[in-house]
Every structure is written in C-alpha cells, then in structure tokens.
A and B are shown apart, each in its own frame.
Chain A
C-alpha cells in the first residue's frame, strides 16, 4: 500500500507492506543506508532512528505504524545544533573502530542529550545500554557524550 513518510524533513511516498520494518524501507526504498541492520530483534541498537525526536528501533517499527511522526536518521541528525555537536565530538574523540554500530550510537546519544542535557556517568550508561559495540568503543562513547554535553 502507499505510505507517506516524513524523513529528515522531506516528504516521501512509498509502496510497501505496512508490516515492513521502517529499517528496510529506509534502506531499500529510500536509499538511506546509514541506518544499519544488526539483529532484527531490537537487541543491538544498530538500527536506531528518531521518531519525533525520540530514539526508536527501526527494525521493530512497522512502517505502517510510523504515521505522521517525523523520522530522523543518521543522514539527517546533523541538521540540529545538538546533532552537529554530537557528531563533532564523535570525530574529535575518534570513537569508531569498525564503525558499524556508530550510527545507532550517535542517534541514541542525541536522544539522550535531548532528554538529559547534562547526564552523569550513570545516566550515560543507562541511556546507551541498548546499543552494542562489538569493537567495544564504550570508553570513547562516554567521553564523546561528556564532551558534547559540556
């Protein structure tokens, strides 16, 4: 069926099964490949996007349920000052190793800082606990979030 989506400030119309996860609509229909497939079960956070500014697992979000929510992906997150600040902190700390999880990490970090502008260490860990990093860049993820919050 035809579904209207608002992604990174642009309106899109896609033909898709409403059960199809938003992740695969972003990747296959809209060519937005920055959002990653890791597990398809909401366990790793690689597919994290924002729905109206709140972090959501796009692999667990049927596209038919997105409705009018504004979808923000890694490709669009730098449009806000906060998104830009987090991205700059990520580059400055050279957070990535393989880098595959980092889109999801950044989306979770931006959502965390929007909710909690000055998180303490416990709040950082709690806010980022849903995002796996197989290379274990956690030390620098913490540092980059602290830097972006400062």
Chain B
C-alpha cells in the first residue's frame, strides 16, 4: 500500500517537472529567437534557416536602425517621460498614501471614497480628451507625466505599507518633540519606507516605459512621440523607415525592414528585461502588499 502511494507521487512529480520544463521552453524560445534573428541575415530568417543560433552574424539591421534619427529622438523622449513621470507619481502617490494612513486625518471616510470612485467610474475617452484640451495640455511634454500621475491602486499599496510597517508610537514621540507632519513625513516616514517606494516606483516606471495610448491621443508633434508609438509604425503599421524602392531593391529593403523589426524589439525591451531579475524581489513584494488589501 505504502509502496503504491510512493510511486503515484513520483509519477505526479515527474509530470509536474516535465510540464514546467516545457513551459520554460515555450516562454524562453520566442524571446531567444528574436535576439538571434536580430543578428542574422534576413534571408536566412525568412527562409527558416535560423533556429538556435545565427548562421552568420549580420548587424546591418541594427546599423540601419541606429541611422534613424527618430529612433534616438523617441528613445530619449521615453527615458525622459519615464524618469520625470516616475518622480512625479512617487511624490503624488506616496504623500497621499501617508496622509491616508494616519488615523487622525479628519474626514478619512469621505476622502477614501473620493479616491476610490475613479477606479470604477470614468468620464470616458472624449470628455477626458476635452478636459485635457481645455487645460491647454494637448501636444505638450506635460500631458505625458502630470494629468494621469495619480494611481489609486498605488496609493492603497503605500497606505497599507505605512499602516502596517510604520509604528504609530514613532509619530507620537516625534509629535511630543514638536515635529510637524511634513517634517516627520520627509525625515522619518520616507526613509523608513524604501521598500514601498521601490515597488511603486518600479511599477510606475515599467508602465510609463511601455505606455503609448496617451501619446496616441494627446500628441501629434513628431518630436514628442515616445518609443512605443514609433514601434507602432515599425511593427504594426509595417511602415518602412527606409523609404520606397522597386524590383530586387524592394525585396532586400523588405528583409532589412524585418531585421529592423527584430532589432527594435530587442532595443526597446532590453532595459526592462535586464533590470527585471535584479528587481524581482521588489516586484513580488509589491504584489504581496497589494494583495493584503485586495
């Protein structure tokens, strides 16, 4: 009897590991393929000759990609939007989270409702567009970093963190010493909450790096568009940045555009992928903090 249980468990275990290894392959192979394809001869890729390693190393795709001024411009834009947007979002959301964690905040219930309603109700696309337009923010740098910096979800995460990890006695003691709320927030609460700042900051940064919808709606100026929107032209609209050509030139140009597709995917995704394994701890922590309150 005992023998049988043991063997059943072993079979289950083996099945689990086989599934896990299959999943690892299914996830990793497409990503690996993009990388090798970006360094391969485009004809080899198109004809299915590249599977595990480039047949010949060919960096023309990257060469052509980096020749494009728009790439550099939009890459820089994305970096600026991400850095500035993350800083603004941190200031706005962490300070709100702290204030809402304080039990002596008068009108706490009402304020809670005020922050939660927008999670479920929104004015919708056009009314929001009209408001942004009336504020004169269309086609400005600021529309990408200020109007939608508030994240109720992140505020709740920060509030939960302060409620559970910042001892109330600390504020009471500081208060007796004549410390004001803002001085306490800047001098004690913030330095003691690096974990939650890292979590909220990382989420915001990834979101900003990957976002394009607001740019699509609110930006027309070529000099302001972020990387993701430029990628839309390369990857989705299949627009060749290299111009038009005919005959055999056209064939080559098409293949070169394909290379640029792989290259642009690598270039745009690499920063996040490189950072991710090191920061995984913080990402996971964030999910846990968020999960506490549901």
- Are both chains from one complex? no
Footprint of A on B, CB under 8 Å? Answer: none
